[in-house]
Structure 1
């Protein structure tokens, strides 16, 4: 009876299982050899794992890039040009399949589950389509995934449109493509539609229903009848998922009327289970199943555990509100929220072991349609899978002492996580964040400083807009041990800036032992290349102690390091007290350091190679006084290596030689290699 109930609950998760014959079972001691079996190429952020050892999240899945697998389709890329399919792919390449074509991966280790990152076309008038993708293992054991583009494909200017045929959202805004303000241009320039398409990719998970062995072959085939003209496969993650977790000593939501088949809304049942658990001093348990929840679940002093995020899925529709909420929201949807900070916030909240599947398809900045939100002090969020919400986790403080660990946040319309306003003493560690529509991880010290927080050993891939990690003001915060790959446009891998009304930087900002790859993007508004790390004085000077230590900047599209002020405030604000030490730079399209601000920075034991332009592109604040640049470079020794123009830090550049080339030519660097 228990097995039957579990089977019903698992079916409710919507994770279609491949049915395997008993002969395919894995037995202890089995050895499998196959003639001609391809050696699987396992990567981390599309890199050899040896290049990023000790950096990023420790994960239980193996990443394989489609362009390194067997296929009869076409490899697209590499290309880093915004608004293209290759640019948004992991590693800037993918495989494009037409109906009848396949890509085949060789499992590197035992697995019973896969995640496929893909893109299919939008509908001609927007809104997305669905299309099948057949999955076979060793030529049999067929299942069909139903792919969708309903949560992808945004267009136009911020905050974007779902309509590929729309005209300009903001006719008075600067348009980089024509270097004009359309309303001030006669005749007004025409734009080609779709205008600025982006956010092409999505991902889908599949339980295979059986454990397969290393060397077995997973083939993804676009069936001949697919209505998708093409299907792009970017990567496949394979993993061995353990059995569902059971807790018989908890308040089970099924006992309070929750529907594990998702046929009716279970929000009230969750509320009842939470209220009972608090009275009885119990945890809340959510067994395997798919639970429909179409509003916020308010949590305070409660622990909610699922059976594991592959088994317990809490899924909701986005709901139109009849009138805007006091916070400006015009929609609601699934999410677990602490009480608002103005009401005292929540404490002692612990969420673990389930998936949150949202239904957010457009960006409405006033909407609270995030996976986790509100204020939660002395709390934990662990082992969630958060998908298709606006922001995975958006916390509005003041709040303190919260730990966000071991989560996967994917395919968001905006940020992955944001500590907003007075979040203190909190840690974000060992999370994977992929395909966000804004900063993947952010601390935003609006009104009240975020202080004493740490972003540590997270893996961030392909933020479509803005930055991998962004710190906007604050006191004594740390960014350490992270792996950040493939920011697409208008941002960097790691960014610190006096922007968005943030409180000033004070104390020490420590940026240490991180690795970035294929960063240093093209800033479309300024029409210049950024740095993998980007310090920006926009609204005030930056004079706090910024320590950048032990970081590796690999395969930088433009610069490794950029310090800049906006041109309109270049004589008002400066960047000082910045120290770079024990840094490795492997490959720059342009410079190691680009300085476009007044101020200074020191460099010690910064080793660089494959540098495409002058090592220090020193423009200062563009006044070009005869005394030299307004930005000074302090050489503390041990700065070695260089590239096409010689040593990256040459004596003639010190301390403030003007070496300004506003838009130097780009020399594509070779792929990173062991140092």
Structure 2
């Protein structure tokens, strides 16, 4: 369903974006009849770089694999021993959570001061859960530099008080602090079965696995009570169904295990709430079920009020999870996804959760084996997924992504990805209506190291098949995207169409490059999309591979601030670069798509436009005539073509007979330079220049002879406008 565009709604989204950009994750009161983007959170976050400190500020930075690029706001404060950061408390609080990083292999502590008085407790910090490597993921580097540590202060502080953290015995980079009023421990529900009655050890010393299993078995149709304390489980629970597992609050009831529930099926009605599950996952091993929930909770189940940390995945859900609700929970420091609906999810709602520092997609729906249907991610706050996307929808039917606040994606991800990337079969592509409504994206998008070009804040990706679903993107706010705002791409490079897309009501505030990055065939209609602070141009429209089909951008009215088009498909816009000016030294053929009638062994057409004079294209031997064709990306005014052979003396002088032809459509060619002999001589650099006069998009060299070898040969073909 499309939410009406209103001034109040836009003001609401803008206020949320400003709050996050300023370093305060605060709940913004909803405008009438509309929900604010992001979760309503019980804490307020303050960025370290906005606090008083004696350390060194790092960032901002968007470079993959740096501490600053993974930080909230792309900035943090580095403390050497004896240095401190002092926060002014924004609200009444008795508890704090600090996101930090320490050098690899190190551990230590932060001394804590309240209003200048040192507490008798310290905040432990460690690199144990950081510096994760995933070499099987193309383009991944060491990542996951930060972790979160929490503590009860043991006293109440008020707005305006100060809480300081001082590095005691190790260098600590402090990113952000969350201040909150932690409630007292809840009382035991009447009629519940306590795990301590079954022998669980609340000190965390003994193994409480069997006690938990016996309590679950005894409480069928009722409640398992987890009293205040810390409980150690050494293996997972299974056969969990028709039962409530309830703690006294996640600050008080803590379960230490990396595998809480692992089961392939359940009759459902499982309700899990109000305790913490903290694991000990230090590396990502995809074959291990190191998850809070692995498999199925069954239909009509709920997860609420949970603190989930140091696991591989929070919830990896397969099987029947119809009508599951996951809400009001925190997902911190996973080495992979926060939550993944891994096919066959019907009517699932994931709402009002906070996710920080996930090692893959924070929230994902992946329609493997069966489609995810009529499921919703709404009103979640997501920050710092450090390998992939904030929210990713891989296939599925009638999916909704609504009112989420997403910030600071890194390396391989966008804020939101709507994709037909299948990973495995049987996969169920996008179908029905995909609703992406009311989302706010702050500093999202990244430079993809595999593609060597950027990913937009919001990406629609026909990776493995054309997108035939109706994709409705409405009421979007995009702020400070390092690259583009909206990207339409076929990430496999096979040019599948991305179509049936509408973008209605978007506010784009500052993009590093462009508003629309179109890289595959297809079509989208834009209405009421306003942009300010555009770095390079309004539209980059260069479908890949060249000749695969056009992407049509339709102006539906009400658009402003992005009517220019990037004119040079041979180059990617760089942040803040502006439109490049044509000049005599700009090689229009560099790294452009090149094709030929034939090639010999490894001497492929692309070697003639790669900028390296030592590599070369060689046509099929003994098969004249031969042609080499270069797609310049757009019609260009061409005045000279420079042809080169490798400069080494081993390349003896030779003469090639050739003509230069041009075409605007890749079909009908005209002669730009008539056929003649050109001598290549290592004594003069093995270079010749051919004057031409035309405006082609496709430039073709037609070669009929070579006195030095029975094939056409060029190490570089350079094309210039003057």
Q: TM-score, normalised by structure 2?
A: 0.74
Give the aligned partner of residue 605 of structure 1: 528
Give the aligned partner of residue 274 of structure 2: 353
Q: How far off its partner does 1:565 sit?
A: 1.2
Q: How far off its partner does 1:140 sit?
A: 1.5
Q: How far off its partner does 1:197 sit?
A: 2.8
Does 2:1 align with 1:59? no
Q: Secondary structure at the match of 1:268?
A: helix
Give the aligned partner of residue 660 of structure 1: 569
Q: How far off its partner does 1:566 sit?
A: 3.7
The answer to whether the 8 Å contact 2:228/2:254 transfers is yes
Give the aligned partner of residue 639 of structure 1: 559
Q: Secondary structure at the match of 1:264?
A: strand
Give the aligned partner of residue 657 of structure 2: none
For residues 466 and 393 of structure 1, what CA distance do their matches in structure 2 show? 17
Point out 4+ residue stretches in structure 1 off by more than 4 angstroms: 45-53
Q: How far off its partner does 1:141 sit?
A: 4.6
Does 2:117 align with 1:140? yes
The answer to whether the 8 Å contact 2:329/2:353 transfers is yes
Q: Secondary structure at the match of 1:308?
A: coil
Q: How far off its partner does 1:397 sit?
A: 2.2
Give the aligned partner of residue 290 of structure 2: 369
Give the aligned partner of residue 519 of structure 2: 596
Q: How far off its partner does 1:621 sit?
A: 3.4
**Cα 1:668/1:219, change in 2 over 3 Å:** farther
Q: How far off its partner does 1:47 sit?
A: 4.6
For residues 441 and 83 of structure 2, what CA distance do their matches in structure 1 show? 34
Give the aligned partner of residue 152 of structure 1: 130
Equivalences for residues 432-443 of structure 1 within 5 A: 432-443=354-365
Q: How far off its partner does 1:52 sit?
A: 7.1
Aligned Cα root-mean-square deviation (Å): 2.0
Equivalences for residues 49-128 of structure 1 within 5 A: 54-123=36-105
Structure 1, unpaired ranges of 5+: 1-41, 124-128, 160-172, 177-194, 317-332, 642-647, 670-675
Q: How far off its partner does 1:48 sit?
A: 5.9
Q: Secondary structure at the match of 1:87?
A: helix
For residues 238 and 50 of structure 1, what CA distance do their matches in structure 2 show? 11
Does 2:143 align with 1:198? yes
For residues 579 and 84 of structure 1, what CA distance do their matches in structure 2 show? 36
Equivalences for residues 209-224 of structure 1 within 5 A: 209-223=154-168
For residues 435 and 340 of structure 1, what CA distance do their matches in structure 2 show? 28
The answer to whether the 8 Å contact 1:522/1:530 transfers is yes
Give the aligned partner of residue 460 of structure 1: 382
Q: Is 46-55 or 552-561 further displaced after alignment? A: 46-55
Q: How far off its partner does 1:155 sit?
A: 3.4
**Cα 1:668/1:361, change in 2 over 3 Å:** farther
**Cα 1:661/1:231, change in 2 over 3 Å:** same
CA displacement 1:246-268 (0-9 Å, x = unmatched): 12511111111010001111010
For residues 510 and 440 of structure 2, what CA distance do their matches in structure 1 show? 13
The answer to whether the 8 Å contact 2:410/2:445 transfers is no
For residues 62 and 184 of structure 2, what CA distance do their matches in structure 1 show? 40
Give the number of equivalent residue pairs.
548
Does 2:211 align with 1:266? no
Q: How far off its partner does 1:623 sit?
A: 2.7
Give the aligned partner of residue 12 of structure 1: none
Larger radius of gyration: 2
For residues 47 and 140 of structure 1, what CA distance do their matches in structure 2 show? 26
**Cα 1:201/1:68, change in 2 over 3 Å:** same
Give the aligned partner of residue 521 of structure 1: 446
The answer to whether the 8 Å contact 1:576/1:599 transfers is yes
Q: How far off its partner does 1:482 sit?
A: 0.2
The answer to whether the 8 Å contact 2:24/2:47 transfers is no
Q: Secondary structure at the match of 1:665?
A: coil
For residues 442 and 116 of structure 1, what CA distance do their matches in structure 2 show? 26
Q: Secondary structure at the match of 2:374?
A: coil
For residues 268 and 567 of structure 1, what CA distance do their matches in structure 2 show? 48
Q: How far off its partner does 1:520 sit?
A: 1.8
Q: Secondary structure at the match of 1:44?
A: helix
Equivalences for residues 246-285 of structure 1 within 5 A: 246-249=187-190, 250-278=192-220, 281-285=221-225
For residues 51 and 305 of structure 1, what CA distance do their matches in structure 2 show? 26
Q: TM-score, normalised by structure 1?
A: 0.79
Q: How far off its partner does 1:206 sit?
A: 0.1
Structure 2, unpaired ranges of 5+: 1-17, 30-35, 579-722
Q: How far off its partner does 1:139 sit?
A: 1.7
The answer to whether the 8 Å contact 1:45/1:461 transfers is no
Aligned partner (choices 248, 252, 260) of residue 335 of structure 1: 260
For residues 544 and 304 of structure 1, what CA distance do their matches in structure 2 show? 39
